[in-house]
Amino acid sequence: MTARWMTCGVNLEREKEPSLRGEIVALPAPGGLPAPRTFAPLRKKKPGRARILGAAEEAGIVDELDGEPLARKLSRYAARKTRVLAAVCFDDDPLATGEQAVLRENTAQVLAGLELAAAACGAAERKIAAASRREVRRMRGACPGVGFWAAGDRYPALAVLRLRHGAERAGTIGAQACAALAEAAKGRAQCETVVTVAGDGVSRWMNCRVRLGTPVGSVLQAGVPDENPAVVAVESAVNGRAVTDLSEPVGVLTRCVLAFRKLPRRRALPCVGCGRCARACPRGIVPWMILRQLESGAPDPVFLLGVERCIRCGACGAACPSGIGLAAVVARAEAVKEGGAAPCR
């Protein structure tokens, strides 16, 4: 019986090369933003756990993978007695490349931050999860003392990685969070993030280092966008959201700003029964069965197996040839199962 990590996920066309060609460009901070905050740096060479956590909290570091404050995450890992800590240096999204660029250009910082984080949560082993085997070969020389994991090329790569190495119950933190932790040890608060500008609505694909709070519009302008893109999306091309107000500030979770020329085609056909959604789901949910249950008007909660496990990666919707919005269907099923909403079909 093949392990699920070998077959789950959906193959999306990835276009990572264009944005990785150049270096990360630092965009100037827009006027009106406060100066970056500083505080007392850590003095010892190998500081203790409490000091590291304190520095992380003082710097206000938020992990870009899931939006959890790093201090809280590290204390949780410490309580769980995590043995392995992995820095996630790849991006799930087919168009974003921020983490990869950070690993390539700020290697020393990421390593230092990873060491501090491992010390903070008591993990004996450190790993770097890089985007591919080629990336591992490229970075191996520059990263002594850490092991490497290679992510697969199916979306969602992070969930697949977690499935694959599930037995080791590794903790995961983002590469940018590691770099920010290294900076926090030097007394600087987290005030910047790396954002990928991509999509067929911009002519110049790049990674930008921007101050937190910069309007999304200025980041978009750096990529020389087209006259009238139809959609501007942030966070992800697969399960992100569209922005209508370009003055929205950039946050840690804004991993990418994507502009598309055309609206995605929305004609949803009925379910064909190909089963691709069930194969794509990394959590073992069967979306077509859930869709059938909801459409029948009298859903049996027994058949809504596992909807509470959904991580909202959107792989099911991306895999569906009929274009059904399966991620929304599973979310509605979760509400139904919890006993709230009516199926309302």
Partner 1 sequence: MPLTKAAAPFVRGGLTVAGMMRNAALALLALLVLPVVHYGPRPLLLAGASVLTCFACRVLVCLVRRTSVSFSEFSVLVTGLSVPMLLPLNAPVWLPCAASAFAVLAAREPFGPFGRNPFNPSAAGVAFAALCWPQRVFSYFDPSRPYGFPLFGRAAYRAAQSPAAVLKEGLKPDILPLDLLWGRTPGPLGTTAILVVGACGLFLFLTRTAKWEITAGFLGAAALIAALYPRILCSPATSVKYELLSGSLLFGAVFLATDPVTSPRTFSGRCVYGAFAGALTMAFRWFGTYEQGVCFALLIANAFAPLLDSAVLRLRGWEGKTHEA
The nearest distance, CB 26 to partner 1, in angstroms, is: 26
Q: Whose Cβ is closer to partner 1: residue 37's or residue 80's?
A: 80
The nearest distance, CB 61 to partner 1, in angstroms, is: 23
Q: Whose Cβ is closer to partner 1: residue 34's or residue 247's?
A: 247
Q: Whose Cβ is closer to partner 1: residue 47's or residue 229's?
A: 229
The nearest distance, CB 2 to partner 1, in angstroms, is: 10
Yes or no: say if 139 and 103 are a contact pair by the CB < 8 Å rule: yes
Strand partners, 211: 192
Q: Whose Cβ is closer to partner 1: residue 127's or residue 211's?
A: 127
Yes or no: say if 129 and 87 are a contact pair by the CB < 8 Å rule: yes
Three-state SS for 308? helix
Q: Whose Cβ is closer to partner 1: residue 59's or residue 256's?
A: 256
The nearest distance, CB 235 to partner 1, in angstroms, is: 9
Place of tokens 């992070």: 158
Q: Whose Cβ is closer to partner 1: residue 185's or residue 243's?
A: 243
Q: How far apart are CA 303 and CA 285, in angstroms?
A: 10
Name 99's Cβ contacts closer than 8 Å, sequence gap at least 6. 88, 89, 90, 91, 174, 175, 176, 194
What is the C-alpha end-to-end distance of the chain, expressed in Å? 37
Instruction: Give the sign of the dihedral formed by CA 285, CA 289, CA 294, CA 298.
Output: negative
The nearest distance, CB 228 to partner 1, in angstroms, is: 5
Place of tokens 């010390």: 119
Angle between helix 133-140 and 98-105 (nearest 10)? 20
The nearest distance, CB 296 to partner 1, in angstroms, is: 12
Q: How far apart are CA 246 and CA 123, in angstroms?
A: 41
Q: Which residues bind partner 1 (CB under 8 A)?
A: 4, 10-13, 94-95, 162-163, 166, 169, 227-233, 236-244, 246, 258, 260, 263-264, 267, 269-276, 278, 280, 283-284, 286, 288-289, 302-303, 305-306, 309, 314, 317-319, 321-323, 325, 327-328
